[in-house]
Amino acid sequence: MSSSHEIFSNLQNAKGEDIMAKIICIDDDLDVTEFLRITLEAKGYEVETAHNGEDGYEKACSFKPDMIILDVMMSNTTEGFHTAYKFRKNEELSLVPILMLTSINQEFNYNFSMEKDGEFLPVDDFVEKPISSKSLLEKTERLLTLPKEEINIKGIKKVI
Amino acid sequence: MDNTSQKLKVFVVDDEPGICLGVGAILRDFKVNDQTSNSQVEFEIFTFNDGESMIESLEKEVPHLLLLDCKLPGIDGMEILENYLNPENEILTIMITAYATIETAIKATKLGAYDFLAKPFTPDELRYTVRKAVTHIMLRGQAKRLEEEKKRIRFEFIRVLAHELKSPINAVDGYLDLIKNRILGDEIEAYDGLVEKSVIRIDGMRKMIGDLLDLTRIESGQKKRMIENIDIIEIAKNSIELNCLSAEKSNINIELFSPDSLFMSADSGEIQIIFNNLISNAVKYNIKNGNVFIRISEDNNLVNIEVEDTGIGLTSDELSKLFNEFSRIKNEKTRNIQGSGLGLSIVKKISGLYGGDVDCSSTSGKGSIFYVTLNKTTVEGQL
């Protein structure tokens, strides 16, 4: 993959010109958000970062991202889950695709998958750490082009 | 006393209906105070006139306590003890025996019986024996709970440790991926920042492993302690020097208020760890142009160490978690600061070795003062 690679985004402004998709990355590890920022900016995406769920939520409200990348374990083991629910309950952000970062598979001997966990977690895909830039970009591209009616809101309906 | 009560199931097996009736009547009204949970123990009695019917009942229900007659018409007590009691059930057995010979006692004990009750017995003898058995059951239960709690804490420690060690690996992995895929183009200088950041994470990880080894050595008593008469002022000065460089970077002033020398019997390595941790924290969590004040004084047999900073301080919620393992205070102000999350729990453990303790008072946004007290003369010992 070279840096001159085309930017994948289906977003267009009112004049029909391509505009950069906006992505917010929320992870308490500064080096992880730095990795995400560099990878995504190199492909032309506009990136905002935050380091806890609350800050990420607030920043997202003004940044109005087209996609959210969200870590699970921050100040507590489930902060990412709670933050995902919060996004889905926000009128403006409820249909923004969420890519969840997990690093807890080995620790809890648990593998996240959309089939099992999409039922109760309102997220649209998972990436296990360590993240490869290749799979990050592939999943980002897929989620950014995901039709709104396919956004996973199953979990949220069950919880509310 | 607590009003809660718990019921223990008691099986009574005796071919004399009078014994079954009598034991049932006495134990139904009997209550034992359980010291481990401060509650009352009552009894639920099931009686059997032969071994076979009791064994059949075992399939559905397992008693806590079994009062078992040695001589029974069919399968006798010894045989039940030997072949029908699953050790995993942990049934406590009291043998009822008419001929309390040494031989039967030895044999029954070998087969796992807990106690004996010689026929004929008085109600008080029965109550005494049962009370003893109940105490045993309760203590065993408590020991088991403590053991499980210990296992849980250990698992939790390892789980958190694994997470803390994986985070820097994930970070470095990410940066290597960016370099490998030339995400920032072909100019090698573009990657200098990523290399620098990777080195910082690896250093942090090395420090964590070092701290972890210190901690386990102290905890397990494997660290060979060299108790000597040492001047702790000298150690404090060395530690200040060690932290000078990082203090200068933020123009932080470190001042020491102490007598010229202060001798105590201690392991110099341990005292060094205390000073290094407290002073490096005071520098790390300080503000630009801040101050660190170190005060060392003696009070009879006690040495008092105070390390004050003018840094970011702690909220009362953060204070309560401060000395726990891996409790790094994560907020916007600390997110650029590297730390293992083990330093203060190590300081606490070492202080304990000197019959002392560590404490902290802090005002969020203003700064913190850490207090360590140490006994000048401590018998060499473990925690």
When pLDDT is cut at 50, 70 and 90, the band that residue B154 belongs to is confident
Q: Is residue B382 part of a domain?
A: no
Picking from B172, B181, B194, B200 by the largest number of A CB atoms within 10 A of its own CB, the best residue to mutate is B181
pLDDT tens column, B60-115: 999 999 999 988 888 988 899 888 887 777 899 999 887 667 788 888 888 888 99
**C-alpha–C-alpha distance, residues B55 and B53, integer Å:** 5
Work out whether the CA dihedral B163, B337, B356, B361 comes out positive or negative.
negative
SS3 B118: strand
Domain that holds residue B105: 5-146
Residues B200/B175, Cβ–Cβ less than 8 Å: no
Rounded mean pLDDT of A16-36? 88
Domain boundary among B121, B146, B171: B146
Residue pair A33/A49 in contact by the 8 Å Cβ criterion: yes
Residue A76: both structure tokens together: 């507590």
How many structural domains are present in chain B?
2
pLDDT of residue B3: 55
A-side interface with B, Cβ within 8 Å?
Answer: 1-3, 28-32, 34-35, 38-39, 42, 51-52, 55, 73-75, 103-104, 106-107, 129-134
Instruction: Check pLDDT > 80 for residue A7.
Output: no
The verdict on residue B276 lying in a domain is yes
Determine the Cα–Cα distance for residues B57 and B67; give it in Å rounded to an integer: 14
Q: How many CB pairs under 8 A join A and B?
A: 74
CA distance B183 to A38: 8
Bridge partners (DSSP) of residue B33 are B40
Return the domain boundaries, chain A.
Answer: 22-159
Q: What is the mean pLDDT of chain B?
A: 87
Residues of B in contact with A107 (CB under 8 A): 159, 162-163
Residues B131 and B32 in one domain: yes
3-state secondary structure chain A: CCCCCCCCCCCECCCCCECCCEEEEECCCHHHHHHHHHHHHHCCCEEEEECCHHHHHHHHHHHCCCEEEEECCCCCCCHHHHHHHHHHHCCCCCCCCEEEEECCCCCCCCCCCHHHHCCCCCCCEEEECCCCHHHHHHHHHHHHCCCHHHCCCHHHHHHC
In chain B, which ranges are E strands? 5-13, 32-34, 39-48, 65-69, 92-97, 115-118, 227-231, 253-257, 263-267, 291-299, 302-309, 357-363, 367-375
B236 & B127 share domain: no
Evaluate if residue A1 carries a pLDDT over 60. no
What's the CATH number where B42 sits?
A: 3.40.50.2300
Contact status, residue A11 vs residue A21, Cβ threshold 8 Å: yes
Tell which phi-psi region holds residue A155, choosing left (phi > 0), alpha (psi between -120 and 50) or beta: alpha
CATH number at residue B289: 3.30.565.10
Partner-chain contact B174 A3, CB within 8 Å:
no
Structural domain includes residue B162: no
Report pLDDT digits (tens) over B318-352: 888 787 777 665 555 665 666 777 888 889 988 98
- pLDDT band, residue A12 (cuts 50/70/90): low
- From the list A3, A55, A129, which residue is nearest B170 (CB)? A129
Q: Which fold has domain A22-159?
A: Rossmann fold (3.40.50)
Of the CA atoms within 13 Å of residue B1, those in its CB half-sphere come to 13
User: For chain A, what is the mean pLDDT?
Assistant: 83
Choice between B222 and B156, residue whose per-residue pLDDT is larger: B156
pLDDT of B157 above 90: no
How far lies A51's CA from each of A58, A72, B161, B206, in Å? 11, 12, 21, 24
> Which residue in B141, B48, B29 sits closest to B96, CA to CA?
B48
- Is the ipTM reported for this complex over the cut 0.85? no
Task: Give B163-186 pLDDT, tens digit per residue.
Answer: 888 889 999 999 999 999 999 999
> How close does chain B come to A27, measured CA to CA in Å?
11
Same domain flag for B9 and B118: yes
Query: Which tokens is A39 given?
Result: 């990878």
Domain limit, last residue, from B102, B125, B146: B146
The answer to whether position B43 is within a domain reads: yes
Locate the chain B residue with the closest alpha carbon to A76.
B330
Q: Kindly report the three-state secondary structure assignment for every residue of B280-311.
A: HHHHHCCCCCCEEEEEEEEECCEEEEEEEECC
Last residue of a domain, one of B110, B128, B146: B146
Cβ neighbors of A121 (< 8 A, separation 6 or more) are A81, A84, A100, A152, A155
Distances from the Cα of A36 to the Cα of A69, A104, A131, A134, A135, angstroms: 9, 19, 9, 11, 12
Q: Which residues contact B354 (CB under 8 A, 6 or more apart)?
A: B266, B374, B375, B378
Q: Which residues pair with B39 in a beta bridge?
A: B34
State pLDDT tens for residues A68-102: 999 988 877 788 889 999 999 998 999 999 999 98
- pLDDT tens string A113-156: 777 777 778 889 999 888 999 999 999 999 999 988 888 887 56
CA distance, residue A148 to nearest chain B CA (Å)? 30
Which chain B positions have a beta carbon within 8 Å of A132's beta carbon?
177
Same domain, residue pair B245 and B371:
yes
CA dist A144 and B16 (Å) reads 82
Question: Quick one: tokens of B44?
Answer: 């639920």
Query: How far is it, in rounded angstroms, from Cα B90 to Cα B113?
Result: 11
pLDDT tens digits, A44-55: 999 999 998 999
Identify the pLDDT of residue A108: 62
What integer pLDDT is reported at residue A4 of this predicted model? Answer: 40
Closest of B215, B285, B220 to residue B247, by C-alpha = B285
Q: Are B349 and B219 in contact (CB under 8 A)?
A: yes
Check whether residue B125 and residue B25 sit in a common domain.
yes
